[in-house]
Structure 1
Amino acid sequence: MIDILFKHIEEKVSLSNADREMLSTFFSAKRLRKKQYLLQEGEVCKYLTFVAKGLLRTYNVDEKGVEHMSIFGWEGWWLSDFNSFLSGEPAVFHIDAIEDSELLLISRANYEALTLAVPVMDRYFRILYQNSLATKEKRLMSSITHTAEEKYLQLICSNPEIINRIPQNLIASYLGIAPETLSRIKKNLALRR
């Protein structure tokens, strides 16, 4: 599992053999079964989580019981309720497994120690945060300026595997549309082909 993390890190920064040895001591492994929670709203998020295998989702539930999907995380993604992780405040998100998953967890204390012990990791995480911020800005602009069909096409263009791995109702929630609207969009696209 740690080799998958090394591969992901080395797509952004270079690791020495000493860095690799040191890095592996900061993480713990965890397996989740499908539908099992990693985090529930109201708990404090104690870990930053790397998805080595499987698929998770981050979402919140409104007062009417409607789920609002925030992020899907598959192999090579990091997930957490980042505000809760950093501040120690209660989480506003749930994180659970859509598929059986294998994860690597790092606690806040180990995260801080890791960035001091392996300085290149500070750069790695900075690159991730920059990319995450840019992605969130694009998603925000898309939600404001694009039609439901445009958002769907953008999603499947950037993440084609999403169609086969994620149930339609969750995709609809992620796009901020009703499942019936997504069905209609898919039907219209199929008719145009």
Structure 2
Amino acid sequence: MQYSSLISYLNSFVTLAPEEASELEKRVTHRAIKRRQYILSDGEVCRHYNFIVEGCFKMYKVDGHGKEHNLHFATENQWITDIASFHAETPSQLYIEAMEPSIIFQINKEDLIYFYERSIKFNRIFRVMIEDEFVQLQHRLLQTISSPAEERYLEFMRRYPDLFNRISSVQIASYLGVTPEFLSTIRKKLANT
């Protein structure tokens, strides 16, 4: 298994002792995920934090008209989960779907609490991770309500530079809250400047 990427990621926050890394390896689940396979669906309770070893995922909501609204993309060495559903143990309103064949590690709530209670390092790592995601979410919300679509597109390019060859324009447009046609107009305008 490719535990090294997960251990390296965690060590970027606080270095784990060998016994902590060994215990983590015993408590995470390794999964291979097919393209278009869901690791969470609307109505399910989110039971895992998901660390991406290989692949790309999207988290989205489908509205009453069947329209998809992308909230988040995650690729290698990133986490993806519905934090609200996970912590409150309530049904999710979101989907998390693999956009390409992927490999993930999953940790459930019981095991995460085990680490929180036994190691201040895990408390610190996950607190900082969630704080960083909250800052990103706050930034995105402010952009959505106060920035024109062109600026949101440029910010998307900055935040997700490796995604352009991995996801469709339709997915990007959904994330930005614009139509694919309007995204095409933005791209043409930027190409001509």
Scaled by the length of structure 1, the TM-score of the pair is: 0.96
Alpha-carbon offset, residue 118 of structure 1: 3.0
Q: Once the two structures are superposed, what CA deviation does each residue of 1:139-160 show, in whole Å capped at 9, x if it has no partner?
A: 0111111110111011112321
Alignment of 1:108-147 (within 5 A): 108-147=109-148
Q: Which amino acid aligns with 1:118?
A: S
Matched, 1:30 2:31: yes
Aligned equivalents of 1:140 and 1:128: distance in 2? Answer: 18
Range moving further from structure 2, 128-137 or 80-89: 80-89
Range moving further from structure 2, 31-40 or 112-121: 112-121
Alpha-carbon offset, residue 11 of structure 1: 1.2
Aligned equivalents of 1:164 and 1:45: distance in 2? Answer: 29
Aligned equivalents of 2:192 and 2:11: distance in 1? Answer: 43
SS in 1 for 2:164: helix
Gaps of 5+ in 1: none
Alpha-carbon offset, residue 61 of structure 1: 0.2
Aligned equivalents of 1:157 and 1:58: distance in 2? Answer: 19
SS in 1 for 2:66: coil
Aligned equivalents of 1:124 and 1:104: distance in 2? Answer: 16
Aligned equivalents of 2:77 and 2:153: distance in 1? Answer: 22
Q: Which residue of 2 aligns with 1:100?
A: 101
Alignment of 1:1-193 (within 5 A): 1-192=2-193
Aligned equivalents of 1:127 and 1:88: distance in 2? Answer: 22
Q: Which stretches of structure 1, 4 residues or more, deviate above 4 A after TM superposition?
A: none
Aligned equivalents of 1:158 and 1:65: distance in 2? Answer: 27
Aligned equivalents of 1:155 and 1:141: distance in 2? Answer: 14
Alpha-carbon offset, residue 87 of structure 1: 1.4
Q: Once the two structures are superposed, what CA deviation does each residue of 1:46-94 show, in whole Å capped at 9, x if it has no partner?
A: 1111111100010000000000001101011111111111111111100
Q: Once the two structures are superposed, what CA deviation does each residue of 1:116-139 show, in whole Å capped at 9, x if it has no partner?
A: 233311100011011011111100
Alpha-carbon offset, residue 104 of structure 1: 0.3
Give the length in aligned residue pairs.
192
Aligned equivalents of 1:25 and 1:116: distance in 2? Answer: 17
Are the counterparts in 2 of residues 23 and 118 from structure 1 also a CA contact under 8 Å?
A: no
Are the counterparts in 2 of residues 53 and 102 from structure 1 also a CA contact under 8 Å?
A: yes
Alpha-carbon offset, residue 164 of structure 1: 1.1
SS in 2 for 1:165: coil
Aligned equivalents of 1:148 and 1:107: distance in 2? Answer: 37
Aligned equivalents of 1:49 and 1:157: distance in 2? Answer: 24
Range moving further from structure 2, 177-186 or 156-165: 156-165
Alpha-carbon offset, residue 175 of structure 1: 0.7
Q: Once the two structures are superposed, what CA deviation does each residue of 1:2-56 show, in whole Å capped at 9, x if it has no partner?
A: 1111111111111111111111111001111111111100011111111111000
Gaps of 5+ in 2: none
